[in-house]
Every structure is written in C-alpha cells, then in structure tokens.
Structure 1
Amino acid sequence: MTTPKFAQIKQFIVDKISSATWQENQRVPSENELSNQFSVSRMTARRALSELTEAGILTRSQGLGTFVASFKSQSSLLEIKNIADEVKERNGNYSCTVLALESLPAITSIAIALGIKVNSTVYRSVLLHNENTKPLQIEERFVNPTFATQYLQQNFTLLTPHEYLSNVAPLTQATHTVEAIMPNKQMCQWLNLSSQEPCLQLIRRTWSSNGIVSYARLVSPGSKYRLGGHLTFKNNN
C-alpha cells in the first residue's frame, strides 16, 4: 500500500527532528516549500504541518512560520503527578481496571509521536483509573519497547504505568497539550456518563535521557477533574 503524501511529509519532518538535523525552535519549510518539494497541493502540506502541530511536535506562529517545538519539560506550568497519589492525597480510595494491554504495530501517527518507524512494535495499555470505585480517568498509553521491555508483564492494578516507567526510564522531559473534547460512545460507557458531557483531554509525551518513552492520552469528565499549577516569578528589582 502506497503511503499517503501527507504521511510522507510528516515522516520526513520527524526524521529531520529525530536525527537532530533540525533543532528545537528551528523554522521548518513552509506549506509552499513542502508542496513544491513533494509535488503536492498546499492543502496536503498544510495537513501534515497541522497534524504535527496538534501532536506537539511543531509549533506555529502567525506571520512568522512553523517551528520545531521545544521539548523542555513544562512541569513549571503543569506538574506531572501519579494519579494514584492524587487520589490518596484527597483521602480517596484508588483502584484501576485494565481494559487493554497488548503489543501491536505502530500506525503512522503513533510512530511519529514516538519517533520510530511505521509498523515498528509498540506496547499499548488502556486503563480506567477509579476513585472510591467511581471512574475518574481513561488512560491510553503507547510505549516504546526499547525503554520498557517488561511493560506488558506488569500488574497495573498494583502500580501505575507512570510509576513503572519512572523506575525503568526516569523522566527527563515532557510536553503537554490540553483541550476540551466531547467523549465518544465508548468513553461514555467506560466513564459511566449518562449523557455526553465535555471531558478534559491531556496529550502527553515523555522522554528519558535516551529518547521518547511514551505517548499518552488521558481523558477525564470535566465535572470530576481539573488541572492546576503554581508559578513563581523572580523579582527583578
């Protein structure tokens, strides 16, 4: 099967970033430049850039262009916490339901997010985190087996993926994208939502010192979950 042109452009850009040919904050070719280089329409080039921007790999600035996103940790804005610890801090009773734990070939979007080749083996887990037996958050995570060879052998009712990965591939960097979404039918069933209410979706990629470890999507009902942070500003006086 022939790889679609927009996917070829995405892989080209990711390869340039993964090989360090293009550095953080470096400007990438424009829609016009990519459309000429790959002999495609501007719409096709725009789709490639837009999807990479949505994945947090690129960032776009109106009037300036598209740039390689910074992969520095955003913990000063959004602290990465273990959800089990969050529940316990509220004196809640944490539990987890494992919905899926499997090995599968990486589709294009996942391969790009993890910086690996399309159809490479990845590990996938889908967990339902509960507080006081009530559904709190769906976690779908894709993991690069290179950094967590025993991922599929873990009992995630006893420890979270965050805990396990922090031990075998200590977190050094992370990116986050947060948005409001409407859940699909499956999400409503898992989260026990009687009707479709807005949910909070967090897309997170994490790095260890040797590369991208995981790509996760965390979805929580808007009425049950919130994100917060604390900023400290230096006094220049």
Structure 2
Amino acid sequence: MKEELDYSRGAKPLYAQLYDILLSRLKAGEYKKNDVLPTEAEFEERFGVSRITARRALAELAAKGLVKRQAGIGTMVISTSEKQDIKARIRLVDGQQLRPISRNNLTLELLTPPEEVARAFGLDGETKIQRLIRTIFRENEHPAQINYIWLTPRLGPLTLEVFEESLYGMLEQHNENIDSYQDIITAELPTAADCEILPINPAEPVLVKTRRGYNDRGELVEFGVSKHLASCYQYIVENSR
C-alpha cells in the first residue's frame, strides 16, 4: 500500500518528509545497523516520489552519518543516532511566531550578473541569466527581507508564475534540487534599490546572507543574496544532534 506524504501548500519539501519518516524508523529500530534500506525505485513505488527526491532524502541520512552507499549492495545503515552537528539559521521574529510567513515574487529578469556571480557560475562577462527578486514578510506587515536570487542558465526560460508555489519545488522538477549549500553572513548598508522595497533608511545596516546552492552533481544552481532587517531577525547557532 502506498504511503501518503503531505502535498499541501506550506508543507515540508517531499525529500524532508521522507527523511523524517526514515529517521523515525531508524530511531524506532525498524531499520537496524547493517540493514539495507529500500532502493530509490522502491521508494518511488511506496511513496509516489521521484527517484531524485528519494536520493536527496538518502543523501541527508548519509550526511548525518546514519547510512552509506556501498557499490553492489545499496544504502546500508551504519548508525541509528545522528552525529552531533552545528546548525545555524536566521529566524524572522514577531513575538510568539503565530503569524505565517508570506512571500511576494516581484520580478524575474534576464540580466548580466555581477562579476562575482558570473565567476561562480563559470560564465563570461556577457552571458545573461535570470534573477528573481522576492520579499518575505508576515501578515499585515511591511517586508522584512528581500531576496535577489540568480539562477543557473540550465533551467532555461522561466516565468514568474512558476515560483508561486515553491522555488525549491520548481528546482526539483528541473532536476536541479539543492543538495548542499554554503552561507556567508555579513552586515552591510542597504543600496538605494533595497530602500525602495524595505522600510529602511540608507544609514541602517542590514543582515546579509549570501547563499551558493549546489545540486547533487556539485553544480551551482542558485546564487542568492538575502537582505534582512536587523530588527526583525535573529541569527541562531545551535550545537545539537
């Protein structure tokens, strides 16, 4: 019998739901050390997910030191408890966190990227790529964050409408799902363009997160620059399992 995942708007990505299911089964002892997990094809049949989704969930387990791929055998359980890890996140705060986060996709343009972005994608100085601009805010509030997201030319021409549901869902459909990323956190003064969108004056610093997201082939998929109102966010580092 096929097991159901949550496809509703706002639900976790499918790979994350599958990861949670597998992790709970490891902790419950359903899968034990040296057991071989189902194949990607079997996950496709059981959960109705793509093999790419199954592969990413298994990659997350491998990154936690729980499983490893062995040629000719498959994905073997090597531990049933997660390794200690350092986690960092930027959280939008508003008291008790009761109001949902909304995203507003503003523009999608084909532009010549800045030198740093072009170099990251391995482009020459004249190649244009697509840049998405969107804001993030809570209900009945001004935008608290603006994202400038440069996307790989491998995606081909896109429309603003494809981003209405989920950026990462769209990337997964194009076989460009994010498998790993690097974040760099800095503080900078906003540009004139930032000030036009965010309720901020030019002398007030913003928290800037620059993200490079890579697919499971090690290719750059997105180069994103997120600018956060410092008064609205917390940067949290946790040492946990």
Q: TM-score range by the shorter chain?
A: 0.5 to 0.7
The alignment's C-alpha RMSD in Å is 3.0
Amino acid at match of 1:214: E
Sort the Cα spacing of 1:97 and 1:185 in 2 relative to 1 into closer, same or farther, 3 A: same
State the alpha-carbon separation in 1 of the partners of residues 216 and 177 from structure 2: 8
The Cα of 1:166 is off from its aligned counterpart by: 4.7
What is the CA deviation profile of residues 159-212 of structure 1, one whole-angstrom value per residue up to 9, with x for unaligned ones?
A: 242443355322222111101112123322311125632210000000002310
Alignment partner of 1:215 out of 215, 218, 223 = 223
SS in 1 for 2:214: strand
State the alpha-carbon separation in 2 of the partners of residues 105 and 170 from structure 1: 24
Task: Output aligned runs, 1:80-99, within 5 Å.
Answer: 90-99=97-106
Task: Output aligned runs, 1:53-202, within 5 Å.
Answer: 76-78=86-88, 90-134=97-141, 135-146=143-154, 148-149=155-156, 151-156=158-163, 158-168=164-174, 169-193=176-200, 196-202=203-209
Alignment partner of 2:240 out of 218, 222, 232 = 232
Sort the Cα spacing of 1:162 and 1:219 in 2 relative to 1 into closer, same or farther, 3 A: farther
Paired position in structure 2 for 1:203: 210
Amino acid at match of 2:224: A
TM-score computed with the length of structure 2 as normaliser: 0.54
Sort the Cα spacing of 1:77 and 1:151 in 2 relative to 1 into closer, same or farther, 3 A: farther
**Structure 1 unaligned runs (5+)?**
1-74
State the alpha-carbon separation in 2 of the partners of residues 165 and 153 from structure 1: 14
CA contact (8 A) 1:171 1:206 kept: yes
Query: Which stretch of structure 1 is more off in the superposition, 117-126 or 191-200?
Result: 191-200
State the alpha-carbon separation in 2 of the partners of residues 76 and 165 from structure 1: 26
What is the CA deviation profile of residues 93-132 of structure 1, one whole-angstrom value per residue up to 9, with x for unaligned ones?
A: 3333333211123443221122333322311111111211
Amino acid at match of 1:220: H
Between the two proteins, the alignment pairs up a number of residues equal to 153
Aligned-residue sequence identity (percent) comes to: 18
CA contact (8 A) 1:188 1:196 kept: no
Paired position in structure 2 for 1:11: none
TM-score computed with the length of structure 1 as normaliser: 0.55
Larger Rg: 2
State the alpha-carbon separation in 2 of the partners of residues 133 and 114 from structure 1: 37
**Structure 2 unaligned runs (5+)?**
1-84
Sort the Cα spacing of 1:195 and 1:102 in 2 relative to 1 into closer, same or farther, 3 A: closer
SS in 1 for 2:228: strand
CA contact (8 A) 2:105 2:160 kept: no
